[in-house]
């Protein structure tokens, strides 16, 4: 059975997930800005804010695994 922990594979996966979360966070911030400043749709801003908060939390928790 091959259930050995591979730290290099874990680091690669961790960097990939951080990259995806950072890209998603940038897109969410841009879309939230467009909702608020261009479309003037503040109702749609609340779910975007929750998504931004979840992305920040995911990035923070994942970056703590480095230490």
Cα–Cα distance for residue pair 54/67, rounded to 1 Å: 21
Cα–Cα distance for residue pair 22/14, rounded to 1 Å: 12
The whole-number pLDDT of residue 18 equals 93
- Average pLDDT, stretch 2-25? 87
Cα-based distances in Å from 10 to 30, 63, 65? 30, 13, 10
Cα–Cα distance for residue pair 25/21, rounded to 1 Å: 6
The whole-number pLDDT of residue 67 equals 59
- Average pLDDT, stretch 9-34? 92
- Average pLDDT, stretch 19-42? 92
User: Is the pTM here over 0.85, yes or no?
Assistant: no
The whole-number pLDDT of residue 8 equals 84
Q: 18 φ, ψ to 5°?
A: -60, -40
């Amino acid at each position: 059975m091959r259930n050995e922990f591979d730290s290099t594979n874990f680091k690669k996966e961790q960097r990939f997930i951080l990259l995806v979360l950072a890209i998603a966070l940038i897109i969410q911030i841009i879309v939230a800005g467009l909702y608020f400043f261009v479309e003037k749709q503040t109702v749609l801003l609340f779910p975007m804010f929750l998504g931004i908060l979840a992305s920040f939390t995911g990035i923070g928790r994942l970056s703590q695994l480095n230490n």
